[in-house]
Amino acid sequence: MDLEFNKNEDINKQLVFDLNTRLKKVHAGGGEKAAAKQKEKGKMLARERVAYLLDDDRPWLEIGAFTADDMYAEHGGCPSGGVVCGIGYISGRQCLVVANDATVKAGAWFPITAKKNLRAQEIAIDNRLPIIYLVDSAGVYLPMQDEIFPDKEHFGRIFRNNAIMSSMGIIQIAAIMGSCVAGGAYLPIMSDEAMIVEGTSSVFLAGSYLVKSAIGEDVDNETLGGATTHCEISGVTDYKQPNDKACLDSIRNIMSMTVVFPKAGFDRIKPAPPKLNEKEIYGILPDSREKPYDMREIILRLLDNSEFEEYKALYGQSIICGLGRVGGWAVGIIANQRKVIKSKKGEMQFGGVIYSDSADKATRFIMNCNQKKIPLVFLQDVTGFMVGSRSEQGGIIKDGAKMVNAVSNSVVPKFTVIVGNSYGAGNYAMCGKAYDPRLIYAWPTAKIAVMGGSQAAKTLLQIQESAMKAKGEEINPQQEEELLKKITDRYNSQTTPYYAAARLWVDGIIDPLETRKVISMGIEAANHAPIEKQFNVGIIQT
């Protein structure tokens, strides 16, 4: 191995180490004191509940672990958005699990908590996955109620989705394992089945203090909405369980008897690991997002047997397209090539830039995969579309629009992995979050922004200088340098994968070696939902 490879390897392994260190902190939730309080009540912690519920011998794919990372500091923070969410297996069935973390503000819902729950429901709806809710929440976080209550994508949308999923035949099971109050009480009761843990759990529209204030009645919470009340008197809940473990055992038992629904039929054979060493990805991926590398070498270390049937290999080379398998599943790969390439016409093409010919190739390949019902995997390291008079005269807007159209109208499942840069319209064409990938994950090396940091900072500096000059203010070279650094630092902090993951622009940040798991589990989930819509791109300019 050469020095450059070793340098890359060291830096990328350090990024993964930093990722795992951050995850450990996130997994601690609200901290030791808050955890101890839950234990004193005889309750399991959210992550303990999830681990106990899931099959030990099957993988777990967490969604939104870094939700709210470095957000809500003035409110004491909200690790993971106060809810643990992901795809796992219960009694052999693939399911989506959502568990409130009562160590974080008693499980109260922040604005981002609602967004994360809606994302979980979106994944369940798109893939027709059973969803299990482990409810333990104090309800809406009142200091921020105006940002979570009234709008279309706010708290109420959760219950609307409960009803829609039920009408679609998507299994929903809820376990009340702590507080469940106010509007939040509708979530478990709008599920197919609801169980409640005796002694530690309650569900009601208004607690004892509010009841006393509103109608003057003196009543304790257990009488108002405990397990005995709702399982023996009101009939609101269906199963009364003596403790957390018995409750989770009941869910496992119910899931073991659920019907297996018809599948989409995506092609799968026996899985095989890549022949080339996956760990070499650390050495191949450069230490800087500006440096070129051969994306093909990354692809070969992600595919089963490192076998890749490349499409139009010598045409439109700034995008690589081709067929392969991940975890046995057939996939269509669309990836940005980061090498500088010399075209057949003798022109140099920059790595990571989408040119007219590459957009045209990708569009055709996407259409082919839709024809064959092959799921699509996008590997993003894109700086945008090519600009300049030659590109404009060559119809780059028209060709880019064709690619965006094909991505938008695809009926096969799409999965996006942000390897490096994800800039501007390149993010859109390569199936960014706005284009409904079933799952979208980022490597620690990802950068997500409208344009690169240096270009953006210089543009912002020019705008700020113009505004200062308009006020009659002059700026000397030293002030200009300080201002540029301040702007650059602020902009760069907003392009990190952690900034994106905190706001759920991506579903998570992963070690590159987890990429195959994400794709394989994602297609397995998508296979629960047969394709019903016909592929049609509508009007395309030629």
- 99/178 Cα distance (integer angstroms): 11
Same domain, 306 and 225: no
The pLDDT value recorded for residue 1 is 57
Residue 221 near residue 204 (C-beta atoms within 8 A) = yes
Instruction: Give the CA distances from residue 407 to residues 127, 398, 413, 416, 540, in Å, rounded to whole numbers and listed in that order.
Output: 18, 14, 11, 12, 13
Same domain, 328 and 397: yes
Q: 3-state SS of 189-217?
A: HCCCEEEEECCCCEEECCCHHHHHHHHCC
Structure-block tokens of residue 319? 């995008």
Phi, psi of 399 (to 5 degrees): -70, -35
| pLDDT 10s digits, 83-107 | 999 999 999 999 999 999 999 998 9
Give the CATH number for residue 514.
3.90.226.10
Task: Please report which confidence band the pLDDT of residue 343 belongs to, taking 50, 70 and 90 as the band edges.
Answer: low
Residue 242: inside a domain, yes or no? yes
Closest of 412, 385, 388, 411 to residue 399, by C-alpha = 385
pLDDT at 184 > cutoff 80: no
| pLDDT 10s digits, 471-511 | 777 777 787 777 778 777 887 888 999 999 999 999 999 99
Range(s) of the domain holding residue 359: 278-450+496-526
- 309/320 Cα distance (integer angstroms): 11
Q: How many domains does the chain fold into? A: 3
Same domain, 89 and 238: yes
pLDDT at 178 > cutoff 80: yes
Same domain, 67 and 202: yes
Phi, psi of 263 (to 5 degrees): -100, 160
Residue 222 DSSP label: H
Task: Please report which confidence band the pLDDT of residue 139 belongs to, taking 50, 70 and 90 as the band edges.
Answer: confident
Same domain, 145 and 100: yes
Same domain, 360 and 501: yes
Residue 439: inside a domain, yes or no? yes
Residue 283: inside a domain, yes or no? yes
Residue 25: inside a domain, yes or no? no
User: Which among 255, 286, 312 is the end of a domain?
Assistant: 255
- 302/273 Cα distance (integer angstroms): 8
Residue 416: inside a domain, yes or no? yes
Instruction: Give the CA distances from residue 301 to residues 143, 295, 340, 379, in Å, rounded to whole numbers and listed in that order.
Output: 48, 10, 21, 13
Task: Please report which confidence band the pLDDT of residue 150 belongs to, taking 50, 70 and 90 as the band edges.
Answer: confident
Same domain, 231 and 107: yes
pLDDT at 466 > cutoff 90: no
Residue 4: inside a domain, yes or no? no
User: Which among 192, 221, 255 is the end of a domain?
Assistant: 255
Same domain, 301 and 414: yes
Closest of 345, 327, 348 to residue 526, by C-alpha = 327
The pLDDT value recorded for residue 472 is 79
Query: What is the pLDDT averaged over residues 59-79?
Result: 96
Same domain, 309 and 364: yes
Same domain, 301 and 195: no
- 75/62 Cα distance (integer angstroms): 25
Range with the poorest average pLDDT among 18-32, 143-157, 342-356, 527-541: 342-356
Residue 336 near residue 379 (C-beta atoms within 8 A) = yes
Spell out the residues 6+ positions from residue 303 whose beta carbon is closer than 8 angstroms to its own.
Answer: 274, 324, 325, 326, 333
3-state secondary structure of 318: coil
Same domain, 442 and 470: no
pLDDT at 183 > cutoff 90: no
Residue 137: inside a domain, yes or no? yes
Same domain, 44 and 117: yes
Q: Which amino acid is at 225?
A: G
Query: What is the pLDDT averaged over residues 172-191?
Result: 85
Residue 266: inside a domain, yes or no? no
Q: Which amino acid is at 174?
A: A
| pLDDT 10s digits, 190-204 | 999 999 999 898 888
